Structure 1
Amino acid sequence: MPLTGPREMFQKAYKGGYAVGAFNVNNMEIIQGIIAAAEEERAPLILQVSAGARKYASQVYLMKLVEAALVDADLPICVHLDHGADFDICKACIDGGFTSVMIDGSHLPFDENIALTKRVVDYAHDKGVWVEAELGRLAGIEEHVVSEENVYTDPDQAMEFVERSGCDSLAIAIGTSHGAYKFKGEPRLDFERLEKITKMMPDYPLVLHGSSSVPQEFVEMANQFGGQIPGAKGVPEDLLRKAATYGVCKINIDTDIRLAMTAVIRKTLMENPSEFDPRKYLGPARTAVKNMVQHKIKNVLGCSNAI
């Protein structure tokens, strides 16, 4: 089955009150685990490639892995650039076969963000490629963008931004954040702000970044077997499920996959200290990725049996 863009995925998600999972990929085992979960759940899928992943594995290798997966996969799959830093990166991904790109000008002044986004939109739309942009800033570190605090998305600016830039979907800031340490106090998302944006832009697909839940069982497992990640806390899954009923059609998940994979690798190696065959610890890690993604599809995104 060939790669697809997210347009039809998001139209169905908006009407159905669910979200499509956008999962970051870095290597073969992660891609295999994610696709196996989506196939079992009959769910649409977005595979995200960050600038860091392009540098680590190279765009060509990752696209060839996806190409191999498409030979047997019988579900709609979109390949998306996550947090594109500039026009050149977006262009390289569009020319390289991506069906969706994100241009992240969220750190720029409003008018500059619009200008950069529109430049990418003009190039991408000529090639039939979807463009996601971001307005507002999430706390934490994500690729080239570092923010000490959340700068929540202004609903009036969101409407103007979309109209002037022509972007197809918009990542908004309502309280999620990047990384494994999202909240110090009570977790909260600004649903009043989200509802206002949704009402001002009906049927328009919104995106949530920084939406891993950081399951404590894997934090504890990692720490039990030599890890040092105390105090990690993510977005409660019930809040994410609720967001999907307010026009959020795409939810990004990365940290939870890394956490599950690393915790299982630590456990496997500690329990089998003489083992040095990578297949013996990457195999269980791949299964952990599959189980994590399957859980997200069923219980958080709500997109099982959506194809």
Structure 2
Amino acid sequence: MPLVNGHVLLDIIKERKVIAGAFNTTNLETTVGILEAVEKSGIPTFIQVAPTNITLAGYDYLVDMVARYAENMDTPVALHLDHGKKFEDVKKAIRAGFTSVMIDGAAFDFEENIAFTKKAVDFAKAYGIPVEAELGAILGKEDDHVSESDAKTDPLQVKEFVERTGCDMLAVSVGNVHGLEDEPNIDFELLEEICELSPVPLVIHGGSGIPDEHIQRMVEHNVAKVNIASDLRQSYIRSVGISYNQNNNEANLIRVLEEAEKAVCETVYQKILNMNSVVARV
């Protein structure tokens, strides 16, 4: 089927009472590995890319890759911009054909974040595209950006932030961290408090380091989307490294990349099932 609008995907997620993984891609092999796993799982999912990783292919080429594969899928998938830190990132992604976007103003103070986010929401609204925003700073390493801030989301700011910005999803900081170098410690009491106050579905970043059983609990707290990047990137890099170690004179690039694609697919497929406590399909 064609790429699904993020609003539609959120409705499907809510109806099926599942948590959608949001898996970060970088190149063709990672993209195909993710989408193959999504189709095999049958669980609606986001595939996403951050501006820091778009340089390898560009917005238009990435849309083309994902859309071409999705056309032959039965499982709904949306293409999401992850961590757009500039308004220009959002504009480029939407105009290229992304069906969901994130504007990340977490580095700003409350009022600045509201103004920054609302500008993106107003632009995206004309295209019918949902916007994810972030309130609270998330500790850890995201690509080359290292954040030493660990400011948990203030639940008393949530309702006002959502209402004044008009955002459709809210990424929150509740002890989750980017990357695998820091240990997540999910504060479920805080997550529950935010859930009760938020008019929109919640998003958890840094899903690679969070135990699956904790992610499974999050569906009870209006979490619709959990971002996963480090796990599949490590699978890809590890697969290439194994191929090299097995034969450091290897010149068959196709074989090496096919193995990397397979490794990504297996990681994503297992993660989707584990997050939703689903038994693997035979």
What residue in structure 1 maps to residue 62 of structure 2? 62
Q: Which residue in 1 is equivalent to 2:191? A: 194
Corresponding residue for residue 241 of structure 2: 266
Q: 2:223 aligns with which of 241, 248, 265?
A: 248
**Residues 176, 182 of structure 1: 8 Å contact kept:** no
SS at match of 1:140: strand
2:101 maps to: 101
Secondary structure at 2:128 match in 1: coil
Would you say the 8 A contact 2:3–2:71 is kept in 1? no
Match of 2:83 in 1: 83
- Alpha-carbon shift at residue 143 of structure 1 (Å): 5.3
Cα distance in 1 for residues equivalent to 2:265 and 2:79: 18
Query: In 2, Cα distance between the equivalents of 1:15 and 1:32?
Result: 27
2 CA distance for matches of 1:94 and 1:164?
Answer: 22
- Once residues 257 and 121 of structure 2 are traced to their aligned partners in structure 1, the CA distance between those partners, rounded to angstroms, is 39
Identify the residue that residue 206 of structure 1 maps to in structure 2: 202
Q: Structure 1 regions of 5+ residues with no counterpart?
A: 213-233
Q: Distance in 1 between matches of 2:77 and 2:127?
A: 18
Identical positions, percent: 39
Do residues 278 (structure 1) and 278 (structure 2) align?
Answer: no
- Give 1:67 shift: 2.4
The alpha carbon displacement at 1:88 in A equals 1.2
Spell out, residue by residue over 1:157-201, the C-alpha distance to the aligned partner (whole angstroms, 9 max, x if none).
011100100000000000111112121xxx520100100111123
In the alignment, structure 2 segments of 5+ residues that lack a partner are none
Q: Is the 8 A contact 2:19 2:219 kept in 1?
A: yes
Q: How many residues align?
A: 280
Alignment of 1:142-181 (within 5 A): 142=142, 146-181=146-181
Match for residue 297 of structure 1 among 272, 275, 280: 272
Q: Residue 10 of structure 1 corresponds to which residue in structure 2?
A: 10
Structure 1 residues 168 and 303, CA, compared in 2 at 3 Å: closer, same or farther? farther
The amino acid that maps onto 1:38 is V
Normalized against structure 2, the TM-score is what? 0.94
Q: Could you tell me whether the CA contact under 8 Å between 2:7 and 2:129 is conserved in 1?
A: no
The partner residue of 1:237 within 207, 212, 236 is 212
C-alpha separation in 1, matches of 2:260 and 2:143 = 24
Native 8 Å contact 1:134 1:172 kept in 2: yes
Contact 2:44 2:75 in 1 (8 A): yes
In the aligned structure 2, how far is the partner of 1:301 from the partner of 1:19? Answer: 6
Report deviation, 1:303.
Answer: 7.2
CA contact 1:14–1:205 (8 Å) conserved in 2: no
Aligned counterparts of 1:42 and 1:283: Cα–Cα separation in 2: 23
- Counterparts of 1:17 and 1:49, CA distance in 2: 25
Judging changes above 3 Å, is the alpha-carbon distance between structure 1 residues 143 and 115 closer, same or farther for their aligned structure 2 residues? farther
Indicate the RMSD between aligned Cα atoms, in angstroms: 1.8
Change (3 A) 1:270 1:106: same
SS of alignment partner, residue 257 of structure 1: helix
Q: Corresponding residue for 1:139?
A: 139
Deviations 1:41-78 (A, max 9, x none): 11212110111221122112211211221232222111
**Conserved? CA contact 1:138–1:151, under 8 Å:** yes
